[in-house]
Structure 1
Amino acid sequence: MGRKWNNIKDKKASKDANTSRIYAKFGREIYVAARQGEPNPDSNQTLKFVLERAKTYNVPKHIIDRAIEKAKGGSDETYDELRYEGFGPSGSMVIVDALTNNVNRTASEVRAAFGKNGGNMGVSGSVAYMFDATAVIGIEGKTADEVLELLMEADIDVRDIIEEDDSVIVYAEPDQFHSVQEALRSAGITEFTVAELTMLAQNDIKLPEEAQAQFEKMIDALEDLEDVQQVYHNVDLED
């Protein structure tokens, strides 16, 4: 698949944890998810998923509890879910997901992050068709063959299962996210190294050294924006 998901997660967590940005982003996402239905993960699948992701990033319990209590308290703070698509240097493609209470501000900031770093925003649909929505679930302590057998016994047919360093990574359809996890939990697995719903590029590309440096600067600028929750792209940044 061309991506080392544990490395990507650890790199993002290390970068963001220094300024607590990752906690602020999760706090916002948990609050929005909790307001979309009952503020209870047992009856709110969206909230359940966000909490699974938060756990893999070691988001403190008080951050989670505060966001859920805020939703329970009937806060009238609202956020729009937005998706931007754009292009970076040398044919690179980028998708940006945001949660914002000021659409004009976010659009302006995202456009500037692209434009100042050799990229440009595209129209809706200009990039997304080259990506597939994908559930990515990682575990330790099993081999790929063992995981395949577990999922086959649960009658779950996933896209791919690969071994990455000390982990096994499962790629599945988005609507299989919870069923894959439950099948693994039934086998005694309680911890997940990765629990993501992502936009996975159909084809990753390698950039020339100069273009890659510019691209990484653009991605950093986008991820630094307060309203941006996720950034997806088609560039293989692994050495």
Structure 2
Amino acid sequence: MGRAHEVRKVAMAKTAAAKSKLYAKYGKEIYMAAKAGIPDPESNVSLKKIIEKAKKDQVSADVISRAIEKAKGGSDEAYIAARYEGFGPGNSQLIVEALTDNVNRTIAEVRTIFNKNGGKLGSVLHMFENKAVFTFQGLTEDEVYEILLEGDCDISDLEVDEEFVTITADAQQYNQIRTTLLDQKPELDLEVDAVMWLPLAETTLEGHDLELFDRMMAQFDELDDVQEVFHNVTRD
């Protein structure tokens, strides 16, 4: 069904994650954005975007306000962005992105998950593309092209699939495309609105390899430090 279908499946799987993990993920991101700038979403564009995404994923207002108040309170807590690459079962390749206050702890936990599931840490970043991805409904292909042309946006691909429009572009184009779409169509509901690592080639796993991969993904989902996991595994 194409890359757009796979991207939507990834987004839907993320929203199905446990609330506690989802809250922890956004709590860290909101805190870091508020601490890095003005702790007011009307004056801090990065903070506003993260809050919009959090609300869309049904993160409670209490979680959002607590993270902002924590930043206002002068907490010296700090998180470091870390990225880990590796090979999983079969021909799977994974990129694990984390926000951590203890790099040694996080890399040890990530390495253990790889090792226990038939994988290992290793360089795979060259097998992925860093892309801005937007998926939404309500506009025709021609309408989207017209909006993007007016906004002088440079895209890699535009795919229409089951009434959904999916735009893929270089990661550097994220802000320009997002601003252009929402300035022209403020009511647009962006089902996928993210910068993500997309594989250059996908693989399908079966049997024991698939079981190990699913267990690996479940274990990453349980780690509070892990924010996102990108991979090259596709499912029928």
Partner of 1:6: 8
- Three-state SS of the structure 1 residue aligned to 2:153 is coil
Identity in percent: 42
What is residue 193 of structure 2 aligned with on the other side?
195
Distance in 2 separating the partners of 1:82 and 1:73? 25
Q: How many residues align?
A: 233
Secondary structure in structure 2 of the residue aligned to 1:168: strand
User: What is the deviation of 1:187?
Assistant: 2.6
Look up the SS of the partner of 1:4 in the other structure: helix
**Alignment gaps of 5+ in structure 1:** none
Higher mean displacement: 137-146 or 110-119: 137-146
* Structure 1 counterpart of 2:128: 131
What is residue 112 of structure 1 aligned with on the other side? 112
Contact 2:21 2:221 in 1 (8 A): no
Residue 230 (structure 1) aligned with residue 232 (structure 2): no
Partners of 2:36 and 2:198 in 1: CA distance: 26
- Which residue of structure 1 aligns with residue 94 of structure 2? 94
How far did residue 42 of structure 1 move?
4.7
**2:27 corresponds to:** 27
Secondary structure of residue in 1 paired with 2:90: helix
**Alpha-carbon distance in structure 1 between the residues aligned to 2:42 and 2:173:** 17
CA contact 2:6–2:234 (8 Å) conserved in 1:
no
Letter in 1 for 2:85: E
1: CA distance between counterparts of 2:161 and 2:56?
Answer: 17
Give yes or no for contact 1:53–1:194 (8 Å, CA) kept in 2.
Answer: no
Q: CA 1:52–1:141 in structure 2 vs 1: closer, same or farther (change >3 Å)?
A: same
Q: Closer, same or farther in 2 for the Cα pair 1:113/1:82, shift >3 Å? A: same
Rounded to whole Å, the distance in 2 between the matches of 1:110 and 1:189 is 40
Match of 1:144 in 2: 141
C-alpha distance in 2, partners of 1:189/1:160? Answer: 22
Answer with 70-79 or 189-198: which moved more: 189-198
- Matched AA of 1:22: L
Q: Aligned pair in 2 of structure 1 residues 106, 176: CA closer, same or farther (>3 Å)?
A: same
How many angstroms apart in 2 are the aligned matches of 1:4 and 1:55?
A: 23
Measure, in 2, the Cα distance between the counterparts of 1:69 and 1:225.
24
Report deviation, 1:127.
Answer: 1.0
8 Å Cα contact 1:52/1:195 also seen in 2: no
List per-residue Cα deviations over 1:215-237 (Å, max 9, x = no partner).
12111211221110111111113
Per-residue displacement from partner, 1:162-186 (whole Å, max 9, x unpaired)?
1233421111222222221222223
- Rounded to whole Å, the distance in 2 between the matches of 1:91 and 1:109 is 22
Q: Could you tell me which amino acid in structure 1 is paired with residue 33 of structure 2? A: A
What's the TM-score, normalizing by structure 2?
0.90
1:178 corresponds to which residue?
A: 175
Following superposition, the deviation at residue 45 of structure 1 comes to 4.3
Question: TM-score, normalized by length of structure 1?
Answer: 0.89
Cα offsets for 1:123-180 (capped at 9, x unmatched) = xxx1111111111112221123321221112221211111233421111222222221
1:82 paired with 2:82, answer: yes
Q: What secondary structure does 2:133 align onto?
A: strand
Aligned alpha-carbon RMSD (Å): 1.9
SS in structure 2 at match of 1:84: strand
Do the aligned residues in 2 keep the contact of 1:95 with 1:127 (CA within 8 Å)?
A: yes
Aligned counterparts of 1:159 and 1:107: Cα–Cα separation in 2? 34
